Amino acid sequence: MTDFDSHSGSPSVSDWFPEEDRGGGARGSGSRSAQRLAEYQRLRERCPVAWTGDNGGYWTLTRYDDVRDAARRPAEFASGAPFIAMPDFGSQIPISLNPPEHATYRRLLNRYFSAPAMARLEPTIRGFVVEHLEPLLEVGEGDAISAFCQPVPARALSALLHLPDSAHTELVEEIAGFERMGWDPNKVGAVIAQVFGGHIARVVTERRARPLDPENDLLSGVMAAEVDGRPLSDDTVTQIGVQLIAAGHATTADSLGAALYRLATNPDIQMTLRRFPERIPSAVEEFLRIETPLPELARTATDDVALHGRTIRAGDRVALNYGAANRDPEAFEHPSACVIDRSPNDHLAFGSGVHKCLGAPLARLELRVALEEILARTAEIDLAGPGTVTTGVMLSGFTSLPLRFRTR
């Protein structure tokens, strides 16, 4: 971000940071990620409540305690359109709702992400992982993103929503189309809502005519429910389905890619997790912390809030920067180090408070199973070439990642 200042003419970024230090990141590295992390550090240390005029003007919170506390105070920091840079993405259910309405929808949905529900889904997801992994192992190398990280979460979501298995192919093709658009913030939000909404609306129509067991099928269960004594409209059910896909695919695909990159560039971590696979769940949490897939979400202040000498005005937009918070040295010792047995690890990759990610159990399941199968079936993973990263305004991940696999 550039041109941060306080909301009322206090020092601008040029006063906070000397010109030669702005945007430099890790000098000479050419790494966009390093630049972003350096920016996070500067903001946490010198301007933890920062204002920019970009995207209509908004504040950014970067310290762990501030981000976590704001996430846990929906009465003061209300949800709405979830992305600062994509206002046309609009409201989604339940992420854009606030208490008490939000709790009503979360109660409807939570049971489909319970521990028993995930246990029932695990064999199916493990089958998807193996199916997409085996061709890579047979050849010995390939692009892990297109061959593995993109299709596995798409198939997991298709299984969750009881879509035809072929639906994941359409989803991956649509995501590739968004990549070709460059995730243009002026276009992609509306396109996502239109494209995913069209797919889900057709499924909703079919499910109305032929409902499945509402105890096991999320869409049928939502259709059978009532809110304030009235059944949910098809449009509301469609919005729920769209949010599950929009929030659950790209984030998990990016997390898988980041985890594989971490393994490929850290032989010691590979060796440790192969010897002690019971530590994989802990490693997953650390991978999520150190490479937060969705770096920030938006809130709107409902009243004036004083914080670190700034006044956030009622109606101001506020970005909760989870990526910066997860690297805060006040919350995590050696925050830039990947410590796979870090404990405690109260990261904010899934947010916090009432809006903590609904799909977190599914994402954790996919990541754990993927790493279990990959590490059990290989003796070594390393890079087969340079990867490319997304240019998106929301997400942070690879668009290609060539890997080499040596099997046992």
The pLDDT of residue 30 is: 34
Domain membership flag for residue 38: no
Mean pLDDT of 24-34: 42
Q: What is the CB neighbour count within 10 angstroms for residue 285?
A: 20
pTM here?
0.90
Encode pLDDT of 342-358 as tens digits.
999 999 999 999 999 99
- Residue 15: the pLDDT is 27
pLDDT at residue 3, as a whole number: 41
Evaluate if residue 250 carries a pLDDT over 80. yes
The pLDDT, as a whole number, for residue 190 is 65
Q: What share of the chain is helix, strand, coil (3-state, %, to 5)?
A: 50, 15, 35
CATH number at residue 180: 1.10.630.10
3, 14, 72, 397 from 11: Cα distances, Å = 10, 8, 29, 33
Distance CA(389)–CA(395), nearest Å, equals: 10
Number of domains the chain is built from: 1
Strand (E) or helix (H) holding 373? helix 360-377
Mean pLDDT of 272-293: 97
Position 196 in a domain: yes
Q: Report yes or no on 19 lying in a domain.
A: no
Give pLDDT, residue 10. 32
Percent of the chain exceeding pLDDT 90 equals: 71
Q: Pick the more confident residue, 217 or 395.
A: 217
pLDDT at position 109, please?
Answer: 97
Residue 31 has a pLDDT of 53
Distance CA(93)–CA(217), nearest Å, equals: 18
Q: In this structure, is residue 1 part of a structural domain?
A: no
Tell me the mean pLDDT in the region 120-140. Answer: 97
pLDDT of 14 higher than 50: no
Does residue 240 fall inside a structural domain?
Answer: yes
Question: What mean pLDDT is predicted for residues 385-407?
Answer: 83
4 occurs within a structural domain: no
Residue at token pair 């000479």 = 28
Is 15 among the domain residues? no
What domain range includes position 102?
Answer: 48-407
- Tokens 């690890």 locate to 345
